Amino acid sequence: MSVTELIAEKYADTEYSDVEYPDSDGEPMGETGFHVTAILHLLSALRQYFINNDNIYVAGDMFLYYKQGFPRYNKAPDVMVIKGVENHERRSFKMWEENTGPCVIFEITSKSTKNDDMIGKKELYASLDVQEYFLFDPLRDYLKTSLLGFRLKKGRYAPLPIDSNGYMTSRELGVYLIPEGNILRVVDPRTREPVPVLDEAMDMLEAERKRAEKAETERKNAETGQQRAEAERKKAEMKQQRAEAERKKAEMKQQRAEAEAEAERKNVEAERKKVEKLAAKLRSLGIEPE
């Protein structure tokens, strides 16, 4: 590298060191409450889906600066996804600092943005090599269908189809997209279930907590029932053992009584035989016993 090139590289950034890049223009996030809700829901769903990926950043309504030294060259996509960068918050996104740009951009179309969304932004995002571009109309007033999607092919956007289930596939994000009322759902292809946003995830956790508590209560109740049944079984067993002991006691008593009666009978029989023998002897002597 020549001395001139080294000097140019060293001072490349200092040339624009005094340039300011605002992080807000004071404009509202969306044209209506429907648009704000759609933006926040989509942003939350995508962040939830990529929550464990440290190299994917999802931003909403953030200035995207794409030409160093020229702050006017910016857009603020409603939602954008950038791969290969650290997942931490930023005031704005400067492509020359990050050495990359968004791979997917979503615009929530409104009355004031529909023309720019379909023409100006579409051309710009294609030139910035944004691989996929999606438009969602929560009110279904400004687009032919509520969801339009495009994928970059040879520098131009080609429309993406909607399948028989109503899904549009984002290859870049690895998810399905489907309109649901005034929001755009992100669907996990592994489960075919919508990715829950934060409040939905909290509701699911609360429901799961209640289910776990109910299951634990039922388990304890069942355990208590089993313990009661075991206690009753042991009680019945002890009662049966006592009855068996009483039966054996009565049996032994009866056996003793029978033995005593038999002994008494034998004694009486012996006495009778003794008397008869004595009487016979007396008769042999000519004495008649009384």
Residue range 184-200: average pLDDT? Answer: 89
- Give the dihedral of Cα atoms 273, 274, 277, 278; nearest 10 deg: -150
Query: Phi/psi of residue 120, each to 5°?
Result: -60, -55
For the segment 141-146, the average pLDDT, to the nearest whole number, is: 89
Amino acid at 203: D
pLDDT for the residue numbered 210: 64
Average pLDDT over residues 225-234: 87
Q: Is the pLDDT assigned to residue 258 strictly greater than 90?
A: no
Return the pLDDT at 162.
94
Per the model's pLDDT, the better-predicted residue between 5 and 208 turns out to be 208
Kindly state the helix (H) or strand (E) to which residue 139 belongs, with its residue range.
Answer: none
Say if residue 76's pLDDT is above 60: yes
Q: How far is CA 205 from its chain centroid?
A: 7
CB of 64 closer than 8 Å to CB of 96: no
Q: How confident is the model at residue 144 (pLDDT cuts 50, 70, 90)?
A: confident
b or e along 116-151 (b: 16 or more beta carbons within 10 Å of the residue's beta carbon)? ebbeebbebbbeeebbbbbbbbbbeebbeebbbbbb
pLDDT at 199 over 80: no
Superfamily of domain 3-195: tt1808, chain A (3.90.1570.10)
The pTM of the whole model exceeds 0.75: no
CA distance 52 to 254: 83
Give yes or no for residue 68 having a pLDDT over 50.
yes
Tokens coding 79: 């939602």
pLDDT recorded at residue 58: 98
153 half-sphere exposure, CB direction, 13 A CA radius: 7
pLDDT of 14: 54
Q: What is the pLDDT of residue 43?
A: 96
- Beta partners for 186? 177
77-81, 172-176, 188-192, 237-241: least confident range: 237-241
Contacts of 59 (CB under 8 A, 6+ apart): 43, 77, 79, 80, 82, 90, 93
Q: Which segment of 63-67, 117-121, 232-236 scores lowest on mean pLDDT?
A: 232-236
What pLDDT sits at residue 4? 38
The predicted pLDDT at position 203 comes to 57
Q: What is the DSSP string of 215-243?
A: HHHHHHHHHHHHHHHHHHHHHHHHHHHHH
